[in-house]
Chain A
Amino acid sequence: MADEADKRNGTEGASPAERLQPDPPGYFEGESMTRRRAFTVAAQGLGGIAGAAIVLPAVGFAVAPIFHRGKERWEAVGPVGDFVEDTYRQVVFTETVGIGDAGKVTAYVRKSSKQLGEKPGEIVAVSNRCAHLGCPVRFVEAAGNFICPCHGGVYDFQGKRIGGPPVRPLDQFQARVRNGQVELGPRYSVTSQLEPVRARDPGEFTGGVWEYLYPPRPSTFPPPSGG
């Protein structure tokens, strides 16, 4: 569709004021920008699209593991009869597959204790990963406490922090009984009141406002409901 400007040829018909201020070179009447500018914008836009086509997949590839949750894994660690209420039994099982011994973790397992006000008939599996920076803690039977060798973190029998730099109780593993065997599953973290939340890394607080400051990661499993 020819508009008013197309009907004019050059500066013909322009007002005297328009004639005194000629358009810049390359500017055609009726066009909103010079051709040079149009080409510049087009070339830069295409260059940007081409760059993004290379960079975005590469960045997505590198960042994708943040949003990937692996397969839920359960492993039998021994018959129910092996575990008692008043002390822990140490078991080792594979948490991360494919990397040999480096993927193994240690858990301290016992039956739930009525004396401590826990729901009876359940299995409690406490991770040995210190909630400070991830060193391996050890259950000291004489003291009834978990003690971390690195910076002196101390946890009570249930895994609640009672001393040192840790910021929350020890993590736990989901546990169930199948065919008389105790099976351990995904890791989860607990608040200071031992309420289950999604697994956090060591050094990260749980509960209250901390649930927003250290948001749950999509790569972790939902905590067991009901606790």
Chain B
Amino acid sequence: MKLDSLIPAPLRKPAKPGEGNGATAPAPADLKTAPPERPSDAARLGERAKEAPSDVLAWVDQRTAASGFLTGMLFRKVPKGTNWFYTLGSATLFAFIVQATTGVFLAMFYTPSTTQAYASISHINNDVFLGQFVHGMHKWGSSVMVILVFLHMGRTFFFGAYKYPRELNWVIGVVLLILTMTMAFTGYLLPFDQRSFWASVVGININGTGPVVGPYLSDFLRAGPELGATTLSRFYAIHMLLVPGAIIALIGAHMYLVVKLGTTAPPWVHAKKPKNAEPVAPLEAGVEGNGNGAGPRS
């Protein structure tokens, strides 16, 4: 209750119907026998000051009606059995936010030019205050994000959370996986040292081995028949403008569907049987269940 009072009124958990304290509040005391004390000006000012954040929120809420959406999202029901595995999606989102934030600040020092890229990365690592730390967060964070995407995907798969009605969210998730891999691939070239150069050469050549379209895809990635000056700027534009925009948009759609459809219970949690339920008639011989977990269990 103490914690609840810290949350501004518009964002407080809505009371269940018939359980609000409006009906049970004590009747006002008799004003004649016990007149309320008139508070001092300072006390009243303090009261007003305490309500200031709430007032600001109420001002915004009156104009946006956002509290209905926010309370619906923040206080939505989650199934029994929800556990730490369900945090992998949020962890992936957090990894993306780390990448986006550190990437923006790396872009302030990085030069996407074949003759200056390596020098600018050296400058970030050796001269800029906390440069090596921020660059390291971006570099290692990319691996963390790829790993988290796969763990999140595995959780979804093994918990059966991709099934109806959540197939579309699986599809969006797979597109997000591909975009994440694109980010990892295009980002690898940017330091323009020997390792990133040759890794990109090999990566582009692997793209080129696709029949018919492969050779053109390689030329598109390189912006020409050989890895050149425009390849780096092209990778840079894909890495920091094209794909991040697509990822942000698809994360929005992904999370909208999560909130809209709710999460699934783990596969080992089953609905409770009603107490006075009629015993279920045995299924016909040979039918062991319908595959949805709804059949009788032995």
Contacts and interface: CB of A to CB of B under 8 A. Distances in A.
Interface of A: 62-63, 65-66, 68-70, 95-96, 98-100, 102-103, 133-135, 199-204, 213-217, 219-220
Contact of B202 (A135, A213, A216): A135
A206 to B, nearest CB: 12
A200 B218 CA distance: 10
A95 B227 CA distance: 10
By Cβ-Cβ distance, the 9 closest A-B pairs, closest first, are: A99-B114, A201-B208, A65-B223, A203-B209, A219-B225, A213-B211, A66-B219, A133-B202, A96-B228
B115 interface: yes
B220 A63 contact: yes
Interface centre among B114, B205, B206, B227 (most CB of A within 10 A): B205
B185 interface: no
Contacts, number: 82
Given A66-B216, A200-B215, A204-B215, A98 B205 contact: no
Interface in B196-236: 197-198, 201-202, 204-206, 208-209, 211-212, 214-216, 218-220, 222-230
The interface size bin for chain B is 20 to 34
B206 A203 contact: yes
Contacts of A204: 208-209, 214-215
B258 to A, nearest CB: 31
Contacts of A133: 201-202, 205-206
Contacts of B222: 65
A220 B218 CA distance: 12
B212 A65 contact: no
A188 B230 CA distance: 22
**Secondary structure of the B side of the interface?**
helix
A200 B205 CA distance: 10
A15 to B, nearest CB: 51
B228 A214 contact: no
Contact of B219 (A65, A99, A135): A65
Interface of B: 114-115, 192, 197-198, 201-202, 204-206, 208-209, 211-212, 214-216, 218-220, 222-230
A9 to B, nearest CB: 51
A25 to B, nearest CB: 35
A164 to B, nearest CB: 15
Contacts of A65: 219-220, 222-224, 230
B209 A217 contact: no
B233 to A, nearest CB: 11
Given A96-B229, A204-B215, A216-B215, 10 more contacts: A95-B226, A96-B224, A98-B114, A134-B198, A200-B215, A201-B205, A203-B205, A214-B212, A214-B214, A219-B219
Contacts of B230: 65
B82 to A, nearest CB: 43
Nearest to A214: B215
Given A201-B208, A203-B209, A213-B211, A219 B224 contact: yes
Given A96-B228, A215-B212, A102 B197 contact: yes
Given A96-B228, A102-B197, A134-B205, A217 B215 contact: yes
B224 A201 contact: no
Nearest to A202: B205
A62 B237 CA distance: 11
A134 B215 contact: no
Contacts of A203: 205-206, 208-209
A102 B215 contact: no
A220 B229 contact: no
Contacts of B211: 213-214
